[in-house]
A = this chain, B = another copy of it.
């Protein structure tokens, strides 16, 4: 069983096209971790906690020269919102996100903010449209403050191959922080993929009337993250289902099977209203504050998780 798993994993990584800019990403990660883990000249007690937030969906290419791919739907709203609250709670955040998905501090902007929020007042000048004025100023200010302050490192991915290689690199780098590190795995990761080597080189031709695609399961790397890559880090994974009947069962299974510290379960239709937090033997329902207009479920969720992380760090110390 164990050896089959290892085989699956090495076959996945061996077959993956190598990450572009690998050295550059590694360098950025190490610098970010170095600066944030010893802000006071190496005083470990005061080291900042660092969290890796993953966000958005991964793609699975169906052809090597990629024209078609399978995508997992995820706007990245959860990951972006959570990043804001984690920064507010004092964490430094490595934001591993799908290109084109929601960015921290930009949630209250329209779909295409560049074209929607600005207008031309004369050939030489543009201005922010009145109704978006506050949102635009806050978004740009808060986003740039976090990035320029060295508290937010943004790393984009598209394919499942890029995502898993970047997650591995991040985990191996963060493992040095022990229980100070957190993983908040909100990305919608593909369950199935086409191994790179068995993939068609050229665009699949239509003509025969139908197309059969066989996908194989992506190895479950959550347990490898827990056991090998960063064994002391505090790990939170997500379970999204559209069928509420199987949701809790699947969340508890994920907790046990992958050794997660917390699993956040959510249903597609109600995911912005409430989530179920499964941890140890507890099941906690977290919902947004409905008395507030602009409230969201990420605010109380992150508060809860930061507390659980604190408890975990204390327990790990003793």
Contacts and interface: CB of A to CB of B under 8 A. Distances in A.
A128 B119 CA distance: 13
Interface in A92-118: 99-100, 103, 106, 109, 111-115, 117-118
Interface in A121-166: 123-126, 128, 136-137, 139-141, 143-145
Interface residues of A, number: 62
B65 A68 contact: no
B59 A66 contact: no
Nearest to A63: B242
A128 to B, nearest CB: 7
Interface string A44-79: 000000000000000100110111111111000000
Contacts of A70: 62, 68-71
Contacts of A68: 70-73, 190
Contacts of A268: 65, 67, 203
Among A59, A62, A72, A191, the one with the most B-chain Cβ atoms within 10 Å of its Cβ is: A191
Contacts of A315: none
B124 A137 contact: yes
B203 A210 contact: no
A194 B111 CA distance: 28
B214 A210 contact: yes
Contacts of A119: 140, 144
Contacts of A141: 120, 123, 126
Given A99-B111, A120-B141, A144-B120, A210 B188 contact: no
A109 B109 CA distance: 19
A282 interface: no
Contacts of A217: 206, 209-211
Nearest to A190: B68
Given A73-B68, A214-B211, A120 B106 contact: no
A117 B120 contact: no
A197 to B, nearest CB: 16
A242 B205 CA distance: 11
A43 interface: no
A241 interface: yes
Interface of A: 59, 62-63, 65-73, 99-100, 103, 106, 109, 111-115, 117-120, 123-126, 128, 136-137, 139-141, 143-145, 188, 190-192, 201-203, 206, 209-217, 240-243, 268-269
